[in-house]
Structure 1
Amino acid sequence: MKQSLSLRTGLALTMTPALQQAIRLLQLSSLDLQLEIRQALESNVMLEADGDDLEMQTTEEAMAEADSDAAVAEAGSAAETVIELGGENVIPEEMPVDADWGDIYDSAGSAGSGSGEDDDGLHDFMQANLHGSQSLRDHLTWQASIAPFDEVDAEVALHIIDAINDDGYLEDWDGVRDRLVGGQNIPLERVEKILRSVQDFDPSGVAARDLPECLRLQLQQYPAKTPGLSAAFRILEAPMAMLARHDETALIKATGLPLEALREGLALVQTLQPHPGRPYQAHESDYIAPDVFVGKKNGRWRVSLNPEHTPKLRINQLYQGMVKRADTSRDQLTMKQHLQEARYFINSLEARNETLLKVAQCIVEEQRAFLDYGEEAMRPLVLRDVAEQLGIHESTVSRATANKYMLTPRGLYELKYFFSSHVQTTEGGTCSATAIQAMIKRLIAAEDATKPLSDSTLAEMLLKEGIQVARRTVAKYREALRIPPSHERKPIG
């Protein structure tokens, strides 16, 4: 085979480091972006935040200021202020490494300037917002440690506690029992006795193996003379599906209770906690700061980026002036690399903000009816529509809308909320899935409580409004809204 050389021309997309960084910054949330910017400022000497209160000065200016009489006088006055604030407490020349200001000053408010009250208020606020809640397992383990268990019983109790999930239910009881009885040769009666002891722990209903047992354990904590207690026990013996459907007729047949006693027992059952472990689960609030603001000014909707999420960065002029092109020393190479990375980062950040603003403006332009009239006026919109208008790829739109939020006069929404599929109307037009969900929500809110609307009825009512959807589609949208079916929406009484 004869070998030869040839030239070939072609186009190919190369993922340069700058392009990769721009793509990565685009899909970051506001919180992740702030972390990325902070790390870049700390690791790159060429980057600095525009508008910092402390501007970098040249070495000569800093030395001149340190030697000036004004600086000495200012330092002397500051020292006098410290001594005056300290009163009779004089700072010793040598202090231990672990010394605290509290060892020198009795209180921060000794100056009488009122700042002590502000510090106390800040301390109270921080203490009130500390989240040191105890987990369910820790709570149960603590109760087991003070229970009258011997060494073996305490070990069995810990095995049982380890098998309790976050909702407070005992998982895989058969496996736990077999391991304790067969593996550790503990009598079955002893294991079941320890289980009953753990079930007496707080919270009430913990370590239950199913929902009926959980509810029964809670009822056992009530006094014997509690109204409806005996009826509640009878109700829990019936199939739970009847209770879930609020089917009074079936419950009367299953329990043999009269209607009045049945309703009294149902009222008591409804006060029970089906998930006893929920109060011990982490429930810290997640606060979301909007990336985009939308407001109406002079009859037009205006879009702006959140300035807190878009800090202005710049090249440090002092260090940039130290870069010498002809110098190839290690320090110069490092500074040149930092300078190039800083330029890449600033350009990528500007490109991210520009793309996010363009995508948000396009969304607002398409969804003006929603901003004016509400959810039922939401237009169908997909990523391709925005991509074609802006002349960018759909993946870019997807990254720009991921984990980004828009604050509108109607509330705070994720950018992806404004995208939805479409459904054909009877007149040949289209309607968004979000608008249909809003219609379903409106119809259910206005229904007769004694005669809840079924999914078929909802489909017929939507058809009268020009929306042609199947019953299963209505059911899917209703479930997305977390609205129970009609038989579960019917009141007990």
Structure 2
Amino acid sequence: MDFNLNTKLEQNLILSQSLRYAIELLTMSSYDLEKEIESESEGNIFIDMMPRKSSIVRSDCDSYDNFDFINSLKDSKEDYRKELLEEVKLIKLSDLDYKISEYIIYSLDEKGYLRTPVEEISNIFQTSTELIEKNIEIIKKLGLGGLSSKNIKDFFIFQASNDNLKDFISKYFDKIISCKFFSILRDCPNREDEFKIYLNEIKNFRLYPLQGLLKNNNEATNVEVDIVAVVGDSIRVKINDPVAFRINDFYRDMIDTAPAQTKTYLKRQLSRAKFLKNSISQRNRNILSVSKAIIDYQKPFILGEKPLKILTMKLIAQKTGLSISTVSRVVNNKNLMCNSKIYSLKSFFSSGIKTPYGEFSADQIKTIIISKIEAEDKTHPISDDSLCELLNREGILVKRRTISKYRNKLGILNTRERKYISTFEFFLNT
């Protein structure tokens, strides 16, 4: 008789509702946590909120001090799409128009152009091309303006301030984009002054709808600061005005003398309040532990001595003894003010490459790209291929697509676009 015994050992982690809630608290910013505790206090007589000072800090977006905070915002393309949808909701479109607009917004490419043919969208929604065009025009007028333009010519016409300029662009676009400005003037010698006015206006056009997204914003921004640190010879870190509450002693004293049914209710509410208090204390300990480990590792960057080093959440998890998932939740939605500069905690994490010549973080590579482009001959801008070759010669073994990705994240135009601007400026100054 043959016996075939198969055994399988499985380990499952079942999260209780309380544990799930504690994890949720960990991901919240100080502001969100305060609102959550205020909401809890409305239904729990044991929770007395402690007054907080404002932890909102006003900061200038164009300041290098806030580069990493603002840079983390620039990397989020999802944010602008959500904002556009919120604007669309305010217009009170029909359900079909809203669905079409949503589809268009999420079809935009990395420059904000709509490359999907109108006919294709029309077939998807089984409606007329006129209705699709109507929604495209609605989206063009939202946000930065010009999003969902079909191409650069369409976008230039959108930016034109009057019909005469629109006609000028329509007629001479190919010569404008190829910088054949003298050819335009030769065609119309009697209108040279008028056309130079047009070209002066075109010079200030954006080259694609998402150019300058969250950049060149000189207005001050309100930033919620969760952690404050001072870094010098030593490192001091604290929670910025932590969210706190006290347990109401008046109701706690009532428990012993209360009727049985009331006593059960009071004990349940007290237990919830104690759990909440312990969860917040644990949250604060984890935030301090992770923040200290990050600051200690990136201290040369914070002191302005070196670029960011390669840093992963796995490394911080090893240094703090926490799980990677806990580290991920801690850095989510948290901002740090350190030596009067503001950072998103996430911005300290940097990918990069390891070579025989050492490690190079993404931040280091971006810094090198900026320096090479700033030093380029503006009439013959350096290409991504050439940048790749230069970095490879210096021992930084990156691919061309990596260069392009970092250049786009820095908001630097491509070679053709940089040459276009340089030639435009040269022509208008001659």
Place the TM-score, normalised by the shorter chain, in its bin: 0.5 to 0.7
2:37 is equivalent to residue 43 of structure 1: no
2:285 is equivalent to residue 354 of structure 1: yes
Pick the aligned partner of 1:471 from 378, 400, 406: 400
2:409 is equivalent to residue 480 of structure 1: yes
Q: 1:221 to 1:463 in 2, by over 3 A?
A: closer
The amino acid that maps onto 1:317 is: D
1:458 and 1:474 in contact (8 A); partners too? yes
SS of 1:33's equivalent in the other structure is helix
1:425 and 1:467 in contact (8 A); partners too? yes
Aligned to 1:301: 235
1:338 & 1:408 partners in 2: Cα distance? 39
Pick the aligned partner of 2:223 from 288, 308, 329: 288
Pick the aligned partner of 1:266 from 195, 199, 206: 199
Aligned to 1:55: none
Aligned to 1:432: 361
Deviation at 1:296, TM superposition (A): 2.9
Q: 1:391 to 1:451 in 2, by over 3 A?
A: same
Pick the aligned partner of 1:404 from 334, 340, 361: 334
The amino acid that maps onto 2:202 is: V
After superposition, what is the alpha-carbon deviation per residue over 1:406-443, rounded to whole angstroms, capped at 9, x for unaligned?
A: 1123732211111122312342x212112211221233
SS of 2:376's equivalent in the other structure is coil
Structure showing greater relative contact order (alpha-carbon pairs closer than 8 Å, 6 or more residues apart): 2
1:234 and 1:255 in contact (8 A); partners too? no
Q: 1:274 to 1:424 in 2, by over 3 A?
A: closer
2:375 is equivalent to residue 443 of structure 1: no
1:313 & 1:206 partners in 2: Cα distance? 47
2:382 is equivalent to residue 453 of structure 1: yes
1:248 & 1:434 partners in 2: Cα distance? 34
Which structure 2 residues correspond to residues 61-210 of structure 1 after superposition, within 5 A?
Answer: none
2:270 & 2:331 partners in 1: Cα distance? 30
Deviation at 1:27, TM superposition (A): 1.0
SS of 1:294's equivalent in the other structure is strand
Q: 1:399 to 1:257 in 2, by over 3 A?
A: farther
The amino acid that maps onto 2:199 is: L
Q: CA RMSD in A?
A: 4.9
Deviation at 1:211, TM superposition (A): 6.1
Counting matched residue pairs gives: 348
2:88 and 2:98 in contact (8 A); partners too? no
Deviation at 1:356, TM superposition (A): 0.5
SS of 1:469's equivalent in the other structure is coil
Normalising by structure 2, we get a TM-score of 0.65
Q: 1:214 to 1:332 in 2, by over 3 A?
A: same
Deviation at 1:462, TM superposition (A): 2.8
Deviation at 1:271, TM superposition (A): 5.0
Q: 1:23 to 1:447 in 2, by over 3 A?
A: same
1:421 and 1:433 in contact (8 A); partners too? yes
1:364 & 1:161 partners in 2: Cα distance? 45
2:271 & 2:157 partners in 1: Cα distance? 69
1:337 & 1:37 partners in 2: Cα distance? 17
1:422 and 1:430 in contact (8 A); partners too? yes
Q: 1:174 to 1:358 in 2, by over 3 A?
A: closer
1:396 & 1:353 partners in 2: Cα distance? 12
Q: 1:455 to 1:410 in 2, by over 3 A?
A: farther
Aligned to 1:380: 310
2:22 is equivalent to residue 22 of structure 1: yes
Deviation at 1:446, TM superposition (A): 3.2
Alignment gaps of 5+ in structure 1: 1-9, 53-134, 142-158, 184-190
1:138 & 1:305 partners in 2: Cα distance? 38
1:351 & 1:413 partners in 2: Cα distance? 23
SS of 2:222's equivalent in the other structure is coil
2:343 is equivalent to residue 413 of structure 1: yes
1:18 and 1:348 in contact (8 A); partners too? no
Q: 1:476 to 1:441 in 2, by over 3 A?
A: same
1:217 & 1:11 partners in 2: Cα distance? 60
The amino acid that maps onto 1:354 is: R
Q: 1:32 to 1:247 in 2, by over 3 A?
A: same
Deviation at 1:311, TM superposition (A): 2.4
Aligned to 1:368: 299
Deviation at 1:344, TM superposition (A): 0.3
Larger Rg: 1
Which structure 2 residues correspond to residues 316-331 of structure 1 after superposition, within 5 A?
Answer: 316-324=248-256, 329-331=260-262
2:243 is equivalent to residue 311 of structure 1: yes
Aligned to 1:221: 162
Deviation at 1:395, TM superposition (A): 0.3
2:324 is equivalent to residue 394 of structure 1: yes
Alignment gaps of 5+ in structure 2: 1-9, 53-86, 106-111, 212-216
